[in-house]
Amino acid sequence: MKELWELFITFAKMGVLTFGGGMAMLPILQREVVETKRWATEDEIVDYFAIGQCTPGIIAVNTATFVGQKRKGISGGIVATLGVVFPSLIIISILAGLINNFSDVAWVQNAFAGIQVCVCVLIFNAVLKLLKKSVVDKWTAAIFVLVLLGGVFLNISPVWFILVAAVLGILLKNLEVKRK
């Protein structure tokens, strides 16, 4: 029971201290789960981020579910998920009643503009960390470049990029194994 409570509190702290959505939470998740709590390795957290991005829902919530499930099974997954979303539910419920009254105030608009810039930097830092862990050889670099170019120049669903990248990863890694 103590470990379930620790999962809930840890993910609730992340949920209350992170602004900007699931992607902005990635650096905090990485620091807490890998460096502070040692509940997962760097490789595991990168896998959780990748799978969390490929599955429906918010990446941070999906990652919390994976970490909780790893620690304490299904109950751990449920508790970690509840922990990460609980603060947002409370805060959003309060803000929803107030936001319409203050959305035209200049300092509120300026604060949101500043927060958006900060969130962009946090996401960029998370992307750099993921990039260093994910692009490890010429094949993963090639997949990265193809998906990047496709994302910039093609207007198609991200699901197609994920599927094509998965197939390319399988094919290219199998080709590499056969060559060895």
- Statement to judge: residues 75 and 63 lie in one domain: yes
- Statement to judge: residues 129 and 139 lie in one domain: no
- Statement to judge: residues 111 and 141 lie in one domain: no
Q: Read off the pLDDT of residues 120-152 as tens digits, 9 standing for 90 and up.
A: 888 888 888 888 888 988 888 999 999 999 999
- Statement to judge: residues 85 and 107 lie in one domain: yes
- Statement to judge: residues 120 and 168 lie in one domain: no
Q: Read off the pLDDT of residues 48-102 as tens digits, 9 standing for 90 and up.
A: 888 887 787 788 888 889 999 999 999 999 999 999 999 888 888 887 777 777 7
Pick from 94, 111, 41: nearest CA to 70? 41
Cα dist from 133 to 40, 43, 177, whole Å: 15, 8, 20
Domain containing residue 59: 2-133
Report how many domains make up the chain. 2
Rounded to two decimals, the pTM is 0.59
